[in-house]
Structure 1
């Protein structure tokens, strides 16, 4: 019997797990995927929003601003990349400057600091590659960028180090409410818990609707992106938004923390929440809209396209709190943009609710610090020499595009919640994320995984399940 079971190991579930590990609670995370960050948390814009866009008075507005303030300290404690690069909301018609002023007023009400509206002349010095049709912009210096899956992994690893149990490939199929506890049926057996936290992302409505008469509805909203080579990552210094529409914040142009250039997303409600396909129409839409922002979009420098799906709540706000008709069942549902930014604040809010229900004592052994995998590509030669002397496996480069070494891959496999698939290695080290998109390094990583996990190479998968990369072994050639 657990004190708390968290359903979902995305950024919200992992943030909650880490926050609850501060207490003497027997906590478990159930995740139907093979790793953390396998859903919406692995494929989004990675933007730390300032907080000016959300409707004043909503949970989105409140938790966005609270979460934004927490990133400086969290990135230091948990050792994940974060850059406060600032953001601009661009308008292309002088008549729309008034809308920027209104957006600033909303941001002021929400508690966002240091917002200002900049003129065309001021913008040209800050962002020299802006389209000449840009007339003005709202400037938010507290906006930032982060790697969403590295952030999620950091929270989850720290939670694990502090005693939280993670069970992957475990899908919840039913929940039975007892007098003062729950029975959770899964494809891997039963779990008992006093409290359930529903952080199931796109499928949070299905989890809620298993036990509560107060039904919620989550729609999948797909967004397609294009990612460009690092050689053009400097075309944008800040995150560049266009004036938002009813379908979201529109197409953005932004550098990434790894110095690529990212554009997107589209916004299309879809019936199939697992549909992460990309389309010619979607990519063309992203590129065409991005041309409003920059003078030139370097299409020939595209290295990949991808899509992510946001969990859009029909009520158009976060759904957070204990269900009124099911004591001990807590929702963290409908967490779409600015969900990534809000996640640390959502975790604090959930922590308070759990505290009222269970009154747990503090875990005096809680350690807030997590060290990430050493990034060989970011070191100077002296640091590299010292690391190789300490561990020679760091002297063998496996991924040429991203300069990822065997030592980093071994670290990814053997650390808490270690990698078990090709994609899990990629998320932890960036091996395979460069210009050749794993054309050179994938076979080497498969061999390393098989060796370290004591498996056959044909048992290694791309992302778990039946996503096998190889169908058999070559027979040994006979000598003539």
Structure 2
């Protein structure tokens, strides 16, 4: 019998596991995919929003502002890449100036600090590459960029170190009420638990409906992106937003924590029935053209020919305007409809959901005498020369560069395989240490990563996956034999 089962291990499920791992509880995470952060968490704008956009009085407003503060603290504790570069919402007409003035007032009500209105002269001084048609902007210095899957992994790894169990490739099929809680039937077995957190992302409505009457529907929305080479990373120095509309916050142009430039997204409603096959998570000519045209309204000289990758992400939009954080049934907490600013809000959502459960059961959970709330991670390129030499003397594998674009060493890749949440694929390695994230997108280092992964896991290279289950990199031995892969 588990005390708590968390369904889903995106950023919300991971944050919830991290917080619960501090208590004297037996906790299990059930994740349908072969790794954590495989849904919206790994494919988004990677922005920690300041909190001026949500309607005052909503959960989104409250948890955005609280989450931004908490996320900054967590990134420092867990060695997660985080850059507080600030954001600008540019206005291109008198009507849009009125919109950003409203956002300014909204931000003040929400408790966002340091907000400023800047005129055209100040704006172009801050961002010379912006269109001279811009009339002014709302400046939020507290906005930041982050590595979203790294944060999700760090939270999950720390939770696992603290005793939380993680079961991957274990999709929930059925949930039934029991006198003592719930019985969950999943692909790998049947589990008994007192309490449940539903953090199933785009499938959170289906999970909710297993225990309660339908109350909301998730309506997935696809957003397409360009990721540009680091040669374009200094085109802007802040997160540049367009004025928000009823379909989202508009196409943004922003530096990333790794020095690239991200451009996007558009917004297109997609069919949930096709998501499992990946058919609605690809890119389209129409969608990318739309992103290009809209982005160049803000930054006219944007060089999209320097794109090193296009991708799309799925937002878990719902039929309700606010986050859905509620007790759907006794001891069953929905953490659903977590659209933007979900990444920012996740640390606060986790705490809010736990307090909601404690209120429901009429008691507070007992803290452990000891638990880990920090994580150390070696990033070779960020070490001093002295630190690098010392590390290489201790372990020579840190002296062999495998990913030349990102300068990732063999030592970092082998360490990633032995992290608390073991990667199942080449892309799993990419998410843990950035190997393959550069200009060639794994074209040179990919075969060596396959070789190292197979060696460390004790598998044949034929068993190594690119990403999702069944996405095998190799199908058969060629004339050179597998020893030459």
Q: TM-score range by the shorter chain?
A: over 0.9
**CA gap 1:30/1:140 in 2 versus in 1, 3 angstroms:** same
Q: Deviations over 1:274-316 (max 9, x none)?
A: 2211011111111111111113111221101000000001112
Name the counterpart of 2:147. Answer: 147
Q: CA RMSD in A?
A: 1.2
Deviation at 1:475, TM superposition (A): 5.0
Aligned-partner Cα distance in 2 for 1:204–1:92 = 38
Name the counterpart of 1:202. Answer: 202
Deviation at 1:95, TM superposition (A): 4.1
Aligned-partner Cα distance in 1 for 2:332–2:102 = 39
8 Å contact from structure 1 (residues 15, 155) kept in 2: yes
Name the counterpart of 1:251. Answer: 251
Deviation at 1:377, TM superposition (A): 2.1
Name the counterpart of 1:280. Answer: 285
Aligned-partner Cα distance in 2 for 1:338–1:72 = 15
**1:457 is aligned to 2:461:** yes
Structure 1 residue matching 2:63: 3-state secondary structure:
helix
Aligned-partner Cα distance in 2 for 1:141–1:107 = 12
Structure 2 residue matching 1:450: 3-state secondary structure:
helix
Structure 2 residue matching 1:37: 3-state secondary structure:
coil
Q: Deviations over 1:229-282 (max 9, x none)?
A: 011101111100000000010100000011100000010111136221101111
Aligned-partner Cα distance in 2 for 1:420–1:76 = 27
8 Å contact from structure 2 (residues 226, 304) kept in 1: no
TM alignment of 1:151-190, pairs within 5 A: 151-190=151-190
Compute the TM-score of the two structures, normalised by the length of structure 2. 0.96
Aligned-partner Cα distance in 2 for 1:42–1:464 = 13
Aligned-partner Cα distance in 2 for 1:460–1:229 = 28
**CA gap 1:420/1:96 in 2 versus in 1, 3 angstroms:** closer
Name the counterpart of 1:388. Answer: 392
Compute the TM-score of the two structures, normalised by the length of structure 1. 0.97
**1:435 is aligned to 2:439:** yes
**1:425 is aligned to 2:429:** yes
Deviation at 1:419, TM superposition (A): 1.5
Aligned-partner Cα distance in 2 for 1:84–1:71 = 11
Segments of structure 1 that go 5 or more residues without pairing to the other structure are none
8 Å contact from structure 1 (residues 132, 295) kept in 2: no
Q: Deviations over 1:171-204 (max 9, x none)?
A: 0000011123111001111011000100000100
**More off after superposition, 395-404 vs 291-300:** 291-300
**More off after superposition, 5-14 vs 117-126:** 117-126
TM alignment of 1:395-414, pairs within 5 A: 395-414=399-418
Name the counterpart of 1:360. Answer: 365
**More off after superposition, 98-107 vs 404-413:** 98-107
8 Å contact from structure 2 (residues 6, 196) kept in 1: yes
TM alignment of 1:251-330, pairs within 5 A: 251-272=251-272, 274=275, 275-323=280-328, 326-330=329-333
Name the counterpart of 2:99. Answer: 99
Aligned-partner Cα distance in 1 for 2:326–2:164 = 22
Segments of structure 2 that go 5 or more residues without pairing to the other structure are none
Structure 2 residue matching 1:5: 3-state secondary structure:
strand
Deviation at 1:55, TM superposition (A): 1.2
Aligned-partner Cα distance in 1 for 2:424–2:395 = 22
**More off after superposition, 93-102 vs 308-317:** 93-102
Aligned-partner Cα distance in 2 for 1:208–1:224 = 28
**1:467 is aligned to 2:471:** yes
Aligned-partner Cα distance in 2 for 1:99–1:365 = 49
Deviation at 1:71, TM superposition (A): 2.6
Deviation at 1:381, TM superposition (A): 2.4
Name the counterpart of 2:121. Answer: 121
Structure 2 residue matching 1:139: 3-state secondary structure:
strand
Structure 1 residue matching 2:298: 3-state secondary structure:
coil
Deviation at 1:115, TM superposition (A): 1.2
Aligned-partner Cα distance in 1 for 2:164–2:16 = 11
Deviation at 1:476, TM superposition (A): 6.2
Name the counterpart of 1:108. Answer: 108
Aligned-partner Cα distance in 2 for 1:468–1:15 = 31
The aligned length equals: 474
Moved over 4 A (4+): none
8 Å contact from structure 1 (residues 251, 265) kept in 2: yes
Structure 1 residue matching 2:156: 3-state secondary structure:
helix
Aligned-partner Cα distance in 2 for 1:155–1:308 = 21
Aligned-partner Cα distance in 2 for 1:205–1:95 = 37
8 Å contact from structure 1 (residues 226, 263) kept in 2: yes
Deviation at 1:39, TM superposition (A): 0.8
TM alignment of 1:326-341, pairs within 5 A: 326-341=329-344
Aligned-partner Cα distance in 1 for 2:474–2:267 = 35
